[in-house]
Amino acid sequence: MESRGPAADAARASFRALMDAKGHAVENARTAVVGLESAFAAGALVRTAMLAQMLGDLMVALEQDEGQKLGGKSAEAARFILRAISRELDNA
């Protein structure tokens, strides 16, 4: 069931802008997740089961040990999962 209204539209647009922003994909993904969590908490978007699973997968891709730099595969996985989340947001 799609969330409607200006708050839902703004949350989707903000996520997509962060997803496409210049900069490191991993940092952009972390920032985008914070925005989505805020939108869920505010009730602007509904966390679907598919979104919950995708966000869980994204968090695994973004995990790192202290002092470890994330690069290549983490960035590629983040970009892939962010695109999938963007598509699913139309149902949130």
Domain extent listing, the chain: 6-91
Give counts: helices (H), strands (E), the chain: 4, 0
pLDDT, one tens digit per residue, over 2-12 is 788 999 999 99
Q: What is the pLDDT along the chain (92 residues), one digit of tens a residue?
A: 578 899 999 999 999 998 888 888 888 888 999 999 999 999 999 999 999 999 998 888 877 655 555 556 777 888 889 999 999 998 87
Nearest to residue 82, comparing CAs of 16, 27, 35? 16
Tokens matching residue 72: 């290549």
